[in-house]
Structure 1
Amino acid sequence: MDRIDVLRAFVMVASENSFTKAADRLQISPQLVSKYVSRLEETVGIRLVNRTTRKVHLTEAGLRYFQRAQQLLDDFDDLEHQLSDLQDDARGLLRISAPVSFSTAHMARLLTDFRKAYPHVDVDLQLNDRKVDIVEEGFDIALRIGNLKSSSLIAKHLAPIRLVMCASPAYLAEFGTPTTAEALQQHQFLSYSYMERNPLWPEGHDALISNNGDVLVQAAIAGAGITLQPTFIAGDALADGRLVIVLPELAPEPLGLFAVYPHRKLLASKVRSFLDFADGYFGNPPYWDANLV
């Protein structure tokens, strides 16, 4: 008895909540579908479905097995399709979660070029600065910025993320340009709420706290204080002089832009194609740092 056929029968029964409907979809007899599911339950040693005269209900174990079995079948189908042309094989909807400020500035260009190369892949880009649960929320890939901690996810480094302290020339003219860490005690700060607090910044000196870096950069340009921001947000203002880097020698170590995805030996072609395309796309150093010292 073919294990793939057994899995397909179980997944179809779980999807249709019916042996009869599953049999119709698979174009085999309901008796054979029932035999397949019974054999699977014997193999795993636990009941996966509760049968009634009209419907089939998954047990808790059945629900967990169904989710994994569906992914295994998708991976198996993807493996079979890899023998065809790789570009044409990349198709379907690719769901990506990504940070708000980075995406509004840089993802449109990447995704436009990606879809030119892989026109059969549609993209659903959801912007969110919180750390989404990729599996539970149904994402294929999440872009994350930081120093990633150990997890069950696979992470691919896409670009370095440089952080700088900066302020407007008008602010520095009024309050002075700090030349030492101690001089920061005399200044006001514009702080990003999702970032660990800079140990150089004294408590109680936050003029503005926000969960959006674009707001903080605009406030800094308006003269509200000093902010610590990635150059992918502040780069344009730094390049044209609206912002000035202060104490560059005290800048934190660069972070990284990572693409993270569930740990699977076989990636769907749409995921694999995006990861390969994004690798090196932004450059090293990335293009938003090209005009910065």
Structure 2
Amino acid sequence: MIRVVAYDLGVGLDLDAAGRVLTQVEPRLVCLTSAPDPVRLRRLATSAGLEVAARCGRHDAATAVLVHPDVRVDTAASVPLRDGASTDGAGRDGSAGDEAAAVVCRVGGLRLSVTAARLPGRAEDRNVGVAALEAFLDGVDAARIVAASLDEPVGSGVLAVLTERFQDAHLVGGTGTGATRPSTDPRTRQDLVLVDRSLDVLGAFVATAVPAPLASSCLPVVADLAGRDDDATRLPVARADAARDTGDGHHPPSAPRRRPA
């Protein structure tokens, strides 16, 4: 089983609380659709027992991918999502959604493409961003996982385009509404884990237990995945009910970690 987290840390970030959230959910892969500056990002990764595999952008345009130490990273790349995006991640106006952070990695026997993308705020820029993201993913020879933050409601045109190609982990295996924003009273679902159809979605939930409501203005989405021809990864998965705050601050544990073959 491969546990993936999609997390927007752009507003109201409490770095220590975010580190505790990641420690509790025990991910193998973390996609930050809004990431802190490089120094704080390394501190966050270290506190959760993770490593920074990729980061691109600056200020509120930054995205990043973190990995567990037993994940082998083959390549890392930045994917421009807007016309005029520069190599440091700033577009013409320096707004969010300029670049996606992407890695190709090996987890156990699986070769995965993992991308963290925050799509641009303006509708016309979002359309450009989705087309650029699709073009990049078309050239990747690996099972693809995309964590995306949308600046429009679920059911929008952008999501319709993406779900023609990918499984929406929440719709396939999630419980509850999947809402992540605002973290103290979630009503909006704009943070997604999208999964290649060559992978199985074993379960998905939004982590709501303390300290998640304190860590950021958004809650993290957690998805448990497996390769369809790897029966050894088909382990029982705890569902979202166990992740809701019951007073003990616990989240469903991930499966025992295995070293890559």
* Largest Rg, 1 or 2: 1
Q: TM-score under structure 1 normalisation?
A: 0.21
Q: TM-score under structure 2 normalisation?
A: 0.23
Greater helix proportion? 1
